[in-house]
Amino acid sequence: MSKRLKFILVSLGLTLGLLAIQMINVDWRYWAILALALLTYGWASFSLIEDLKAAEWLTLMILPVSYTISVALFYFLLPEKLLTRIIILTLFGVGIYALLLTENIFSIAAIRTIQLLRAAHAVYFLITLVTGFFLFDTMFSFRLMPWFNGLLAWLISLPLILSALWSINLEKGISKKIFHYSLILSFLIGQIGFLISFWPLSVTAASLFLVTVMYVGLGLFQHHFSGRLFKKTISEYVWVGMIVLVITFLTARWG
């Protein structure tokens, strides 16, 4: 069986699993999501098993599992309409397939140079941000205490950032540098998640703001890791962050 066929079958299987979760009693849905996450790890590992080595059993599996959990949780928040289900299921299936292709490129690039690596990094970065948004949106939808939002924002962002930073140089293991940078950025996101919980923001606005912080921080760190962090790059990311901060502040329902 070819890898591409494995990726297609895994994507279809997980998409059907996501559809099945929506038909399960609400009391059991969170357990079903956990089961689907474990299934994602198992099937994704099986489809990539020929090239997985050392830390890749963890680093390459973080995003597929997180993506599955994020979409399944976000699905709860959407109206139960046929069109909505079709769109989400389609996006999920395409996303999982793109992730498997991307991680196949990473596993091969760790051994030899491959031309598609830059495109793979772009896809991985985008899906990381989408996953972060879905998880942050779910978190804020629960209307939890600010300190708990800060803790969850840290726990959500840490593995995503760790995986994204590792993917830049595709090292055999997780170096102290990667771990420390991941801790710093995820701690910052956690602190900001705590602070904006006091702001009169909509769930979507708060989630987009946190994702923007992740985008800016992760973008700067990735350029630093790849040796391409220049003044112009820093300026561009800082301007994006400032613009989003101003827009978020102005759209908040003050008073």
* pLDDT of the residue at 1: 66
Average pLDDT over residues 89-99: 93
Which range among 38-42, 77-81, 157-161, 209-213 shows the weakest confidence by mean pLDDT?
77-81
H-type alpha helices, 51-202? 56-76, 82-109, 117-141, 146-169, 176-196
Quick: pLDDT tens for 49-93.
Answer: 777 777 778 888 899 999 999 999 988 877 777 788 888 899 999
* 149 and 166 Cβ atoms separated by less than 8 Å: no
Q: Which two tokens stand for residue 75?
A: 């699905």
Quick: pLDDT tens for 146-161.
Answer: 999 999 999 999 999 9
pLDDT(178) > 80: yes
Residue 74: other Cβ atoms inside 10 A: 19
Overall residue count recorded for the chain in this entry: 255
- Read off the DSSP letter of residue 172: S
Question: From residue 92, how far is each of 83, 193, 214 by CA, in Å?
Answer: 14, 26, 22
pLDDT(111) > 70: no
Q: Which two tokens stand for residue 79?
A: 């109206």
Determine the Cα–Cα distance for residues 27 and 193; give it in Å rounded to an integer: 28
Q: Residue 241 is which amino acid?
A: G
CA-based nearest residue to 186, from 162, 163, 166: 162
Q: Which helix (H) or strand (E) holds 238?
A: helix 231-251
Determine the Cα–Cα distance for residues 90 and 71; give it in Å rounded to an integer: 11
Q: Which helix (H) or strand (E) holds 220?
A: helix 203-225
Determine the Cα–Cα distance for residues 98 and 76; give it in Å rounded to an integer: 23
* 127 and 98 Cβ atoms separated by less than 8 Å: yes
* pLDDT of the residue at 13: 93
Position 34 confidence tier, pLDDT thresholds 50, 70, 90:
very high
* pLDDT of the residue at 92: 93
Determine the Cα–Cα distance for residues 213 and 189; give it in Å rounded to an integer: 7
- Read off the DSSP letter of residue 136: H
Determine the Cα–Cα distance for residues 159 and 53; give it in Å rounded to an integer: 19
Determine the Cα–Cα distance for residues 225 and 167; give it in Å rounded to an integer: 10
CA-based nearest residue to 15, from 45, 42, 40, 46: 40
Tell me the whole-structure pTM to 2 decimals. 0.92
